[in-house]
Structure formats: C-alpha cells, structure tokens
Amino acid sequence: MAEWYQEASDAIREDMIALSDSVFSHPELGYEEFASSEDHAAMLRKYGFTVEKPYLGLETGYRATYDSGKPGPRICYMAEYDALPGLGADGGPGHGCGHNMLGTAAVAAGIILSKKVAETGGSVVVMGTPAEETSGAKVRYAGEGAFDDCDVAIVNHPCIGGHMRSGRSLALITQEFVFTGKPAHAASAPEMGINALDAATVTNVAIGLLRQQTREDARIHGIITEGGLAPNVIPERVVMRFYVRAADRVYRNELLERVKNCARAGALATGCELTMSEFEDPYDDLMTNEALSAVMCGALKQVGVEEVRDPARSFGSLDAGNVSYVCPTIHPYFPIGTDPSVANHTREFAACTQTDFAKDNMMTAAQAMALAGYRVITEPETLKKIRDEFEAMPK
Ligand SMILES: [Zn+2]
Ligand SMILES: [Zn+2]
C-alpha cells in the first residue's frame, strides 16, 4: 500500500502541474504577480485552506492556513512566484529562476500535509512571498512578525543536478550614489563645470582597489544608471547603484561603510555633491537550521531520493535569510534538469520547468517537505532540538 504522502501527492499531481504551468505561462515581475498569486490562492481555497489576501498590505502576497483546530506546531511553507525581466520567449518576463515550480512545491507540500493534521493536530501555513528577485517580501514579513507564530519555515528551490541540502547565502545591502555637479560646455568652457561622471570614475577606481583588501566572501558590484546626457555637456548628474555582499551581516555593514567612503572620495576629488540611500531592502545571510535540515534530508531518503548533495560552494543572496533570523528555516534545492551547462537565470533554466523530469522532482520535493513537517509535528523531541539550535544561534 502506498504511503499517505505518496497517495496525497498522486491525488493532487495534475492540479499542481496545472498550477506550475499556469504561472509559467503568464510570467510576472515582483509585486506585479497578480494572476500568479490569484492562481495560488484559488488552488489553496479549493483544498480547504483559509486565504488572507492581500497580506500585510501586499496585493500579491497571501497567507493560507489549514488549521486542525487542535493544538500543535505550525509548519510554514514559503511560496515564490515572481519572474525575471527579459527572459521570456517574447523578450518580456520569464521564469528563469523556476519560481513557478518553487511556489507550486510549497502549495503541494501544504496540501499534502493538510491531509494529516486532523489526526496529528497543529496547522499548516503556505506563505505567499512576492518579489524574491528584487526587494523580497520576506524581509517585510520577517520584520512585521509574520513568522512569529510559525515553528519552522521551509522553502525548496529548483536547481540543476540533484537534491541538495540547505546551505548558506550572502548577506546583501544596496546603495545608490547620486553625484551632482555643474554643467558646462565640455570644449569651450570646461573650467566652469563640475563633472559628476568623474566622481563616479573615482568611486569605481577606489572600489576596485578596495577589493584587494576585502575578505574572500565579499562581493561588490554596481552599475551606472545615469551617466550624463551628451558628450559635449559636462555631466551634471550621475547615478550609481551597488550591491554589497558578505557572508554575514556584521562584515557586510562594515564593507558598506568603506564603499560609501569610496563615493565620498569621488565627491571630494571632484567637488560634487553626494547623496546616498538604500534602493532595495537588505537581505540577511541564511542561517540554516541544521536540525531541521537533517529532518528534511531524512524525509528525502524516505520518499525515495537516493542522494542528497552538499550545498553549492558559490551562491547569491536570499530573502529567506531574514526569515532564518526569526524562525528556524531551511532552503534546500530540488533538480529540474541535469545538464550542468544550464545556468540559473536563463531561458534554458525556465524551459527545464516544462519537462517531466522537473515535474516528477517537484512532486517528490513536495512529499519530502510534507513529511518533514509531519515529523516536526509528531516528534516533540525533534522540535525541541530545532528550537534549541535556533535559540543558541548568534543574532
Ligand atoms: Zn533568482
Ligand atoms: Zn530563485
């Protein structure tokens, strides 16, 4: 006889593939996921969840709950459904990060576990979290207490290769520099001008030199979004945008100060005015709860996954990082393809989400996520271990 998670998974498989494909077919950017979040909400309602939407003032956010009405832990699955610009077939948005599958895996896990909570007690939450790719809603959710009544939070991301256990991510902070100078004819009266583009050049050179003296995990990268209007006019206004990343928040903040000093040097050297501001929310580093991660790895084995790989050595930043500071969190990966030449954030990665291989693994991942939740609800000593580790974590 099939196990309960297998049976529940088979029963919803068609609906879940339809959900993933529907979100895939109308890709929407962060905070514009109107149709995608509606698809999610409709599916969760169909399976007996109570859906709060908008959530915390976000039109495309939601919180869906299935409560057994009996006491017990609350398991949270985090769903994402935003796309990336320029990666669609028509040059518009596309699911180059596979969030159509990420979101569906969370919905599926929630529904599978909901079939069991009448018996075990406790409750299941599927948290719809917009805009992971830009200014992720999880930052606001974490800040406003959305996870305070959740015992664990799980999000499972598509990848190439095999199932991978939860690892780390870089803390990130953004900074915009606006240099204001004075325009003048660049040939007939250059001495009358103050060149804002020169300030940006000094800034870039100073940051380039700074990179020699930073820790290995530091990443500083930026663009010029406004660089002057005409070659014969000394640029009056230049705007730069930077991301500053590091393995932990403390060093990230230290680095940001040094990057700001590089911009100050540019302003001083050229005589420009400088204003500085953050243009997106900062992301904290992901602190994987290893006790919860061990439960997830065990669940993967139980649902038939033979190998769970070690986390990748190179990684970016995740808004789930902020969640990990307020609730025991894991962020494992499930495979949607095996060709190592396919990179994340590409059209090819998006195309992988349309394969049977990906769909099978999405459902396997959902089963394991549900089973991990089931174990947290039914094994008090496991939950205690998870909580103890979380309490002992440096914050
Ligand atoms: Zn991405
Ligand atoms: Zn992603």
Structural domains of the chain sorted by starting position, each given as residue range(s) with its CATH number in brackets: 4-169+283-392 (3.40.630.10), 171-277 (3.30.70.360)
Q: Is the pLDDT of residue 2 over 80?
A: yes
Distance 274 CA to ligand 2 centre (A): 34
Q: Which pLDDT band holds residue 313 (cuts at 50, 70, 90)?
A: confident
Helices 356-378 and 4-25 cross at an angle (nearest 10°) of 130
Distance 84 CA to ligand 1 centre (A): 8
Distance 146 CA to ligand 1 centre (A): 23
Distance 199 CA to ligand 2 centre (A): 35
Q: What is the pLDDT of residue 312?
A: 84
Distance 133 CA to ligand 1 centre (A): 5
pLDDT digits (tens, 9 = 90+) for 170-220: 999 999 999 999 999 999 999 999 999 999 999 999 999 999 999 999 999
Quick one: average pLDDT of 251-278? 98
Distance 158 CA to ligand 2 centre (A): 8
pLDDT digits (tens, 9 = 90+) for 55-86: 999 999 999 999 999 999 999 999 999 999 99
Distance 233 CA to ligand 2 centre (A): 42
Residues near ion ligand 2 (CB < 5 Å) are 97
Distance 366 CA to ligand 1 centre (A): 20
Distance 354 CA to ligand 2 centre (A): 16
Q: Which ligand is nearest to the CA of 345?
A: 1
Q: Cα(120)–Cα(113) distance, rounded to whole angstroms?
A: 10
Distance 172 CA to ligand 1 centre (A): 14
Distance 157 CA to ligand 2 centre (A): 7
Question: Is the distance from CB of 71 to CB of 125 less than 8 angstroms?
Answer: no
